Amino acid sequence: MIALNDYLYSGDTVFRILKKYTEDLKRVAEENDSEVDRLHCNFLMQIMELLEHNDFLTAQSQKIREFYQYMAKQYPYLSFTFKGRIKSLIRAEAKFNGYIVEHVYNYYLKNHAYPPVDELKERLSCFRDLIAYRIVISMPKCHVGDEKEREQEEIRHLYEIANVLKVFLEERGFTAEPAGGIKLSDSSLLSEEVRPYYRDYIVNEEPDGYRSLHITFFDNSAHCYMEMQLRTKAMDDIAEIGPANHLGYEKKQESERARRDAVPVGECIYFDEAYERGMKLQQIELAKLDVNMFSAIDNSLINDGCGLYRGRLILPYEHLSRFQND
C-alpha cells in the first residue's frame, strides 16, 4: 500500500509530491481494478488543479470582499474578520481517508456487512470545502457589557448575517447548494427561505463543543465549490485553540482505535488501507519532513509556505468596531 507519507522526505514541492502520489496511486488502482483508488486519484487531481490554476480566486475573493464591505456599513459596531483558505494537502488527505473509515465502520455496525462500492463512491464525492471562507464576529464589551447578553447579541447577528448571505452571493454568480437535511436548523433566528441550505452546528453542537454555521456555494464563474463558515469569536476559539481544534481532533481520532477493533482486518481492503493511511498521517513528525517551502521545529512551531499542513490563505480582511470610545 502506498501512502502520502512516502513522498514527504525528498525535498520535492507539494505539486510534485501530488503528481508522483497520484501517478503511483493510479497505477495501483488499475492493477487492482479499485474504484475507490480511482476516486482517490480524482480527488488528488482536484487539489493539483487548485494549485496550478487558481487565478479565479482573485475574482472570487473580490466578491466575498463585497460582502465584507456590506457588513462594514451595516454593522459598524461589530468587530469581524474574513478569512479564506485552500485546505492543506495533509488535512485533505486525512479527511478523504477519514470519510472511508467512518462510513465503512458505521455501515458495518448497523448491517454487519460492508457498504457497496457505489454507495461508498457516492459518500466520497461530496467534498465541497477544499476552498473555504470564514466570517468571525465579535461584539465589543464597550457596547454590551453583560457577558450572557453579549453572547446572545452575537448569535442573533450571526443568524441575521446568514439570512442575508445566500441572496447576496447568488446575485453575484454563486448558487447555494441544499444541505440535504444534514444538521438541519430549528432556530427561529434562521429564515425559512435559507434554512434548507445551512448546516447548523450551533443548535446541533458537536460533542467536542464545535459550533458554526456552514453553507456551500457553487461558483458558476470558476466552476468549483466553496464553503462559507460563520462563527462568533467564542466559537472560533473553540474550533481553533479549544477542544475542537485540529490537533485535538487528531489526538481524539488516534484514541478511537475501537473502529479498527470493530472491523476485522482483511475483510474490507478499503477500510484497512484508509485506516492505515490515516494513522500514518496522525503519527507524522513534522520536523523530520523534507518538503520544499516547509519547515517545522515540532508539531506546533511550523513555517508552512506551501500549504502542506496549514491551509493556504486566500484573504484576510479585518474590521474593528467603530465608536468604541463613545
What is the pLDDT, as a whole number, of residue 324? 45
Neighbours of 15 (CB within 10 A): 16
Evaluated on CA atoms 56, 61, 67, 70, the torsion sign reads negative
Q: State the Cα–Cα distance between residues 162 and 74, nearest whole angstrom.
A: 14
Report the topology of domain 54-87+129-244: Beta Polymerase; domain 2 (3.30.460)
Neighbours of 206 (CB within 10 A): 15
Residuewise pLDDT in 10s, the chain (326 residues)? 999 999 999 999 999 999 999 999 999 999 999 999 999 999 999 999 888 888 888 889 899 999 999 999 999 999 999 999 999 999 999 999 999 999 999 999 999 999 999 999 888 877 889 999 999 999 999 899 999 999 999 999 999 999 999 999 999 999 999 999 999 999 999 999 999 999 999 999 998 899 999 999 999 998 899 999 999 999 999 998 887 675 555 555 655 678 888 999 999 999 999 999 999 998 899 999 999 999 999 998 999 999 999 888 886 666 766 554 43
What is the pLDDT, as a whole number, of residue 253? 60
Q: State the Cα–Cα distance between residues 205 and 302, nearest whole angstrom.
A: 30
Ordered by start, the domain boundaries in the chain are 54-87+129-244
What is the pLDDT, as a whole number, of residue 250? 53
**What is residue 227's DSSP assignment?**
E
First to last CA, the chain: 64
Amino acid identity for residue 123 in this structure: R
Please give the C-alpha separations between residue 206 and each of 57, 141, 212, in angstroms, as whole numbers: 31, 27, 10
Cβ contact 191:163 at 8 Å: yes
Q: State the Cα–Cα distance between residues 258 and 265, nearest whole angstrom.
A: 13
- Give the up-direction half-sphere exposure of residue 174: CA atoms within 13 A in the CB hemisphere: 26
What is the pLDDT, as a whole number, of residue 320? 65
